[in-house]
Amino acid sequence: MILRLNEWVTRALLVAAALLAFSLSFLVVADVTGRVVFNSPVKGTKELVEFSIVVICFLQAGYAIRSGGMLQVGVILGALPPRVRAGLAAFGALLGLSFFGLILWGSFEPLGHAWSAGEYEGEGALRVPTWPARLVVLVGAALAALNYVLLVIEDVRFALTGRGGASVPEAGGHPH
């Protein structure tokens, strides 16, 4: 149940990130066209792009982890037995869990401050509230941490028993 819900949420956030990136491309084209042709850029483009890049990265984090899109050193892994590769993958997942856990832990206070103080980015043309980006960072870090927990469980199970919910991690990427 949790695996299916996780898959659905990570894919939905991936689609949202793709739609946001696609929309940003139109904004940038409009800004450049306005700047070159009409000598009048779209106001607030810089702020929206800055805001959106962080949002896009954290919306995609859970899917990147679950699908095996994170970096690995395949040269060394290819020479190791499958259960050892799974043990190393579990260790790597623990490091990833620690990293995103720290981001999650450090995100609560800034989100609360941004919400209560009405914090915003940008001056003049466009003022963008920061709390939505901070909320996406918190949710994205939580989903990334959850995906690393799931990977640790699968990889430890495989490393100890040689069987389990995951296939053997291949040298070129994670099996998930």
β strands within the chain, DSSP E: 120-121, 128-129
Comparing C-alpha atoms, which of 51, 148, 69, 56 is closest to residue 102? 148
What does the DSSP 8-state code read for residue 170?
Answer: B
Q: Which amino acid is at 62?
A: G
pTM comes to 0.83
Q: What is the pLDDT of residues 56-76, one digit of tens each?
A: 999 999 999 988 877 666 677
pLDDT along the chain (176 residues), means of 10: 90 96 96 94 88 94 87 72 89 95 96 93 80 95 96 92 60 49
Q: What is the mean pLDDT of the chain?
A: 88
What are the φ and ψ backbone dihedral angles of 120, each rounded to 5 degrees?
-145, 165
What are the φ and ψ backbone dihedral angles of 128, each rounded to 5 degrees?
-105, 120
